[in-house]
Structure 1
Amino acid sequence: MTILSVRESSFSGPVRLTDRISIGVLTSVIPRDLVEEVIARTQSREQRTRLLPTHVVVYYVIALALFFGESYEEVMRCLVGGLRFLGNWSGSWKVPTTSAISQARARIGEEPLKELFRRVALPVARPGSRGAWFRRYRVMAIDGVIIDVPDTPENNEEFEHTNTGRGRSAFPVVRVVGLGECGTHAIVSAAIGTWSTGERRLTRPLLDDLEPDMLVLADRGFYSYDLWEEALQTGAALVFRVPANMKLPALEIYPDGSYRSVLLHHKIQSSTRKKARRRGDGPHGDPSVLEAAGVPCRVVEYSIDRDNPDEVICLITSILDPGEAPAHELAALYHERWEFELSLKEIEISQLGHSRVLRSKTPEMVRQEIWGILLAHYAIRHLMHDAADTADVDPDRISFIRSLRLIRRQVTGQAEFSP
């Protein structure tokens, strides 16, 4: 491959080393043109020539998630190391100090990384992608993760320490809730908040990214009547686990063992049930009263623990026709939700390492760093899916940590690729 000389370059004026910085193969998922569009949209472009232009800072924040255990300056060396021997840029350039890099990150703030994630992170699975579909539905899941952040005055003012039975946590924490593809492990939407924000509240912004071809799985901590009703309006199919002791009247029992029921808002439950009992003599009174006051659903109940058969898993679904989604298939499908939990573990363990404490000392930089982590994870998973699709294998057969190591090595050898 021919490397462009200074005079052959399409850049106006002398070529700078920073014009050639990218994140290796991940640039195919996060291209320079898109980064420039996002910088323009968020009005983040630098006003004068700088040692660290805005596009370099964006790529650098993503690289922090690839080389999490390395120092600020070492991560920058990883980005430029493969370019040094070329010497085809004008002027002197040296690796910026930690202070200069921190100032550059603070200059661009959170918005460019957040907007870039919104633009880049789209569903990955194609028709026929293994493990990604349930009949006509793209299988998605919602779940959350808690990440430790540095114990600084600024972070303590914005975030909170957890306080469980084991005592107060050593670090303040940030809560991240994401929407992801179960088959590809790609996180396509996320919201960031504090420990006390709650998973349900952080789920609401994710509803804008639901599509009618999606089937969304969620654990029992996510169910509320209001959230269920809002999610239904997106047209997506829903399968949520709810507490086994939740009162769900069996209005009609289907041959597959599931039954038709209705969800009632907690503010009208008691009065509606009393009214139904007055008007009907069935086990739940008059079904028409319940149906008129609530939202219809179908219930699937099952047990998987032979040693404890009394432990019942209770699912509610918006798919009312048993022929479209039989009970035994939904019971098996629900446990695909663990695939998304594995995505979050990949971030916690493989990307962040066992310490799991972010680098950033201020809340805005914490959020910026998290968007960079999510962008890096999405790009890696996108490339893994492409490789699996080409080989016609399930993406689960490909190791995330080995893919991460390969991409790290390739980033440092990026001089082999055109800018």
Structure 2
Amino acid sequence: MNSENIITLLKLRNLVFQISNENNLKKVTKNNSISLYCGFDPTADSLHIGHLLPLMVLKHFQILGHKPIILIGGATSLIGDPSFKLSERVLNTYNDINNWEKKITAQLSLFLDFNIGENSAKIVNNYHWFCKMDILSFLRKIGKYFSINQMINLESVKNRINRKEKGISFTEFTYSLLQSYDFVVLNNMYQVCLQIGGSDQWGNITSGINLVRKMSQKYVFGLTLPLLTKSDGTKFGKTEDGPIWLDSSKTSPYKFYQFWLNTDDSHVYTFLKWFTLLNYSEILKIEQEGIKFGNIIKDRIFLAKEITNTVHGISGVAAAVRITECLFSGDLNQMTELDFEQLKQDGMPAIDLFGSEDLVTALVISKFALSRSQARNMILSNAISINNKKISKIKYFFSNDDRLFNKFTLLKRGKKNYVLICWV
């Protein structure tokens, strides 16, 4: 058991938003190994970057000798958590959830160790205990401990009740009861004494703490993590194109790397504390030198490499860096066919062209130009490149030499506007 206190470490890295009974939790974790859990509802076939923070916190606990338990919400995902949602979630089928659970379980091994002895991570599914419980048992065993008066004052419920056009269904209203009972079961089965989650889960977590006390006469703890918003006030991790997934088939390593490479300067050192396992003193040194010598760009690249390596490994980082550098320098010779496949997947806009097309047509189809006359003017003004070679000929037809790997052509307008032509 590592002598360093986990709560002190998390607060040092600004990873604590709210915490219940902090002094007692510090005492419990000081010289004892505890079991803790975090719940993940499988509402898609992959985790996304919004899940990174709780996973990193679980990893910190495990490094210091504690036992992390992942609760897969096979039952709760059939209900849908109303927390800070404007409308009711779409109800998923059990078959979908079961398939998604298998994929998510594989991703968890990127962060946690499942074969290191007593503090090996463990995965459990709350469907196993809820599928055996009938409605009368649920109401008599769990429902009697909850006050409607208190439940409607939960932020997640109150916000929805006040939206008259949407409201909240009874199905979603019961979500907090299910999550609370999870804590009771895990406390009884694995002596779990701490639940962690995002700051939007505080109401559900404290409900669980109270239910454990009422049903088992035991005192347990809750800890929530900070919720970071971007400069425009939107939730971190959300983009115009949707979530940044951890599955490379849903978000390519290149796009994943680019997301972190575009981190706002004010967040770089916070993210190093949150999303890497670097020693805190090392991060402070990087931050001090970065501010002193103006190394923020270098440190942002370092951050992007560290996080991409955790999720996609060395090869993922190498590919992302190679694509980035080749596009910046204009030298495409180092790029592989798989690199272009990443660009096709989500790295840049892509269009399909058939047969022998001319450049003017390609510019219109790609929407670089609104008309053929505008396209011709762009070519004459020396603004168009094919595979980073300037083209000044209006009646230009693509040749086989323009097709990289016989499949791709990189079309560029100006310095930063790209479209990938995919030949079919």
Shorter-chain TM-score above 0.5: no
Q: TM-score, normalised by structure 2?
A: 0.29
Greater relative contact order (Cα 8 A, min sep 6): structure 1 or 2?
A: 1
The structure in which a higher percent of residues are helix is: 2
Q: TM-score, normalised by structure 1?
A: 0.29
